[in-house]
Amino acid sequence: MTEEKSTTRRTLFGTSYDFLSHSLENATKSIDPCSVNLVDGSTVILHALGCLEFVPAHNENAIKPTKLILSAGIHGNETAPIEFCNTLINEILDGLYPIKVPTLFIFGNPQAMVAGERFVEQNLNRLFCGLHESTAYSYSVEGKRAALIERYVDSFVKEGGECLVNHYDLHTAIRNSEFEKFAISPYIAGRSTNPSQLQFLAFSDIEAFIFQTTPGNTFSSHTAEKYNAESFTVELGKVRAFGNNLDFKYHAITENLRLRLQGRWPTPRKSEHRIQCFISSHEIINTGKDFVLHIPEDVSNFKKYPKGSLIWEDKEQHYYVKDQDEYIVFPNSQVEAGQRAGIMLRLVNMGDTKHPPPSLH
Ligand SMILES: O=C(O)CCC(=O)N[C@@H](CCC(=O)O)C(=O)O
Ligand SMILES: [Zn+2]
């Protein structure tokens, strides 16, 4: 199917409607929930600003049916996944194919999307797992948004009994990357990553995986922890403004999500899908005013740092690469004190870790 960037309005909820336009136009408002039946018998429910659920006409005949959560715009300036999710939503609304899997689409931070910024007051992707409840966050734009998103995710997952949840939290990165597309598997004690998920992501052009080794408070950590979901943060290229994304770069993931919405599993797109796996070896935290990150601003994600490289220091501590090469992702010295300023990684041969080897065609 060809991807047309569709922001065409269609008549829905008794008005002229497009989910992305609606999310941007109402970014500072609270809206009334509404729902409507589509011609194929499925139902679409607008729960809240940026939270749209599809309920298929027929339930999957399984003891534990699968549900999908597709989130984008958790960071407002990461527009490519917002655009292709909107395209998928419009295809379903237009009846191009029947939706077979209960799906919750989330546009995370409409106010930041309007501003074209990563966030307005606080980084939304550090406020999940209940962190938004702390008084330091609960009144901020993002604190309220994290609370709202957690609430609708909770009702979506719990509706209709036991289910398996697959969550793809779709992002783009600030800087260039040696692996342009990569996924992060949150750390949950005692749990390993389902190889089928690695296969799905590899078939979607993901070139590298990062297995976290410490708990986080990102959106994917939240769904993985609270609902035992198979959850990933998926990085799909570089941040660009609305209208400036190169659609061909998102073709594989868009097409494969389109299949998943129809209850189908994608097949390989080429004879071999190569992936590189990393584990996180050290989370760099901005320790405060004396913190110095010895990583140039323009470095690419996955840049290699050999043994002995000084990565960061303050007056009391420092971090050197120890006995084997390490690689940096998401270096950012501009984050607030206490926030993550980067992650150091080590290459893994899959046999070395408790994460099972991906089984790829
Ligand atoms: O490019 C960057 O520096 C940040 C891109 C981004 O938003 N990444 C996510 C990763 C979330 C995770 O660790 O699972 C983030 O920092 O929130
Ligand atoms: Zn992001």
Same domain? 91 vs 128? yes
> Does the annotation place 355 within a ligand binding site?
no
Residue 224 — φ and ψ, nearest 5°? -65, -45
Q: What per-residue confidence (pLDDT) applies to 8?
A: 64
Closest CA to 211 of 349, 108, 308: 349
Same domain? 98 vs 58? yes
Q: Work out which ligand 1 atom sits closest to the CA atom of 340.
A: 16
Per-residue pLDDT tens over the stretch 243-263: 999 999 999 999 999 999 999
Classify residue 352 by its DSSP letter.
G
Same domain? 25 vs 73? yes
Same domain? 46 vs 173? yes
Which of 80-84, 122-126, 294-298 has the lowest average pLDDT? 294-298
Task: Please check whether residue 105 is in contact with residue 195, taking contact to mean a CB–CB distance below 8 angstroms.
Answer: no
Q: What per-residue confidence (pLDDT) applies to 210?
A: 98
| Confidence check: pLDDT of 3 > 60 | no
CATH number at residue 67: 3.40.630.10
74 C-alpha to ligand 2 centroid (Å): 6
The verdict on residue 278 lying in a domain is no
Pairing of β 276-285 and β 340-347 = antiparallel
Same domain? 233 vs 348? no
Q: What per-residue confidence (pLDDT) applies to 11?
A: 76
Same domain? 336 vs 241? no
Find out whether the beta carbon of 173 lies less than 6 Å from any atom of ligand 1. Answer: yes
Find out whether the beta carbon of 182 lies less than 6 Å from any atom of ligand 1. Answer: no
Find out whether the beta carbon of 286 lies less than 6 Å from any atom of ligand 1. Answer: no
Per-residue pLDDT tens over the stretch 183-216: 999 999 999 999 999 999 999 999 999 999 999 9
Question: Could you give the number of structural domains in the chain?
Answer: 2
Q: What per-residue confidence (pLDDT) applies to 314?
A: 97
The verdict on residue 85 lying in a domain is yes
CATH number at residue 332: 2.40.50
Find out whether the beta carbon of 171 lies less than 6 Å from any atom of ligand 1. Answer: yes
Confidence of residue 6 (pLDDT cuts 50, 70, 90): low
Same domain? 175 vs 297? no
Mean pLDDT for the stretch of residues 222-243: 98
Same domain? 295 vs 170? no
Counting residues of the chain whose pLDDT is more than 90, the rounded percentage is: 87
Q: Work out which ligand 1 atom sits closest to the CA atom of 184.
A: 14
Structural domain range at position 335: 289-352
The verdict on residue 11 lying in a domain is no
DSSP string, 56-87: -SS--SSSS-EEEEEEE-SSTT--HHHHHHHH
Q: What per-residue confidence (pLDDT) applies to 357?
A: 41
- Active centre residues (catalytic): 235
278 C-alpha to ligand 1 centroid (Å): 16
Find out whether the beta carbon of 330 lies less than 6 Å from any atom of ligand 1. Answer: yes
Same domain? 251 vs 298? no
The verdict on residue 313 lying in a domain is yes
> Does the annotation place 22 within a ligand binding site?
no
ipTM of the assembly?
0.98
Q: For all residues of the chain together, what is the average pLDDT?
A: 93
Same domain? 296 vs 249? no
The verdict on residue 61 lying in a domain is yes
The verdict on residue 30 lying in a domain is yes
> Does the annotation place 75 within a ligand binding site?
yes
Pocket probe mutation, ligand 1, options 235, 239, 286, 327, max atoms within 8 Å of Cβ: 235
126 C-alpha to ligand 1 centroid (Å): 10
The verdict on residue 10 lying in a domain is no
175 C-alpha to ligand 2 centroid (Å): 11
Per-residue pLDDT tens over the stretch 63-74: 789 999 999 999
**Angstrom distance (rounded) from CA 207 to CA 358:** 12
Per-residue pLDDT tens over the stretch 255-303: 999 999 999 999 999 999 999 999 999 999 999 999 999 999 899 999 9
Query: In whole angstroms, how far apart are CA 71 and each of 82, 197, 198, 240?
Result: 8, 17, 18, 17
Same domain? 115 vs 240? yes
pTM of the entire predicted model: 0.94
Q: What per-residue confidence (pLDDT) applies to 252?
A: 97
Q: How many CA atoms lie within 13 A of 41 on its CB side?
A: 5
Same domain? 237 vs 303? no
The verdict on residue 12 lying in a domain is no
